[in-house]
Amino acid sequence: MPGTIPLIGEKFPEIVVETTHGAKKLPDDYRGKWLILFSHPADFTPVCTTEFVAFANKIEEFRRLNAELLGHSVDAVFAHIKWIEWIKEKLRVEIPFPIISDPNGEVAKKLGFLHAQSATSTVRAVIIVDPEGIVRAVLYYPQEAGRNISEILRLLRILQLNTELKRAFPANWPSNELIKDSIIVPPAKTVNEAQERPTKFKCYDWWFCYEEGKVSKEEVSRIKNWFKNISD
């Protein structure tokens, strides 16, 4: 039976995994860094190959944000090694991050990565773990839909900014249709605070207030650039 999906706000479960870079103890070996753990259905498959190339092409952006990538599938380590050799030889892209080998599916079962209809087929899961080992985001995609790596970068940066600024972020940030690259002030907790909100912030109403200029224009521009084609 599939395991329980780690919940946002929980500590990531302690687990030792075998990877293409040797054994890793999770989450301890990534303490002090953000961890992007992502599963893929299988090696030597077209969609997964495009995802790995896309992750590899963005690796410096992840590391610039103090984040490390860690792949996973139920393939054996020799399959991972041969696959990444093939990617390097045929596509001229080196995969610089480790991949968990999980041929018995134990890691997938523990983390709830399995499809309901299968004991061996994994979903395209993404778990973002903060430097303290706390789960901050969980994303799931079906087998037929490849992930947008820029969106994972955007989500990572939003989580980091939320930790720093204690603010929420609107849809499509930093290109929101209503408030552009502004960020949202938390809801008022008292009547007096609600009455004061429009005097301190820009507001549509006291429950929908926002701040401009909290994130630098340079950073906003960099995040927008993530969504441009690599060829640009």
Residues composing the chain: 232
The three-class DSSP label of residue 149 is helix
Name the token pair of 121. 């087929």
Write down the catalytic residue from 35, 37, 48, 215: 48
**Contact of 72 with 107, CB cutoff 8 Å:** yes
Secondary structure of residue 172 in the 3-state scheme: coil
Active site residue 48: yes
CB burial readout 127-152, b (16+ within 10 A) else e: bbbbbebebbbbeebebeebbebbeb
Residues with a catalytic annotation lie at 48
